[in-house]
């Protein structure tokens, strides 16, 4: 499973958040694309439209389990995807900004 540490991510890296709506609304990384894992296959086209053509997709969830599943699926589709180790819990613990649905400071559920 290709993985990356939160501390290795750059501010302009493409981030795909696969958590559910309530988790997203409570707090997420600004600029991330949100497609819940429960809707991922049906909304796959949104990812292919938004992702950089020759770039990497960094997949994140709360702790790394759901994002690992999506990462494996994307790799099978030939997409350069990596799982963000530790997910949003590590993101927040590392001091990375977390915003809620209104753009205000958020928290990780």
pLDDT tens across 25-75, in order?
A: 999 999 999 999 999 999 999 999 999 988 999 999 999 999 999 999 999
Residues with active-site annotation? 61
Q: Name every residue whose Cβ is closer than 8 Å to that of residue 61 and which is 6 or more positions away in sequence.
A: 17, 18, 19, 37, 67, 70, 87, 88
> Average pLDDT over the chain, rounded to whole?
96
């Amino acid at each position: 499973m290709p993985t990356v540490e939160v501390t290795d991510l750059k501010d302009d890296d493409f981030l795909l958040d696969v958590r559910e709506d309530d988790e997203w609304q409570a707090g997420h990384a600004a600029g991330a694309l949100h497609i819940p894992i429960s809707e991922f296959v049906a909304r796959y086209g949104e990812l292919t439209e938004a992702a950089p053509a020759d770039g990497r997709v960094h997949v994140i969830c709360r702790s790394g389990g759901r994002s690992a599943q999506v990462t494996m699926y994307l790799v099978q589709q030939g997409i350069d995807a990596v799982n963000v180790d530790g997910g949003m819990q590590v993101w927040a613990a590392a001091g990375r900004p977390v915003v809620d649905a209104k753009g205000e400071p958020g928290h990780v559920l």
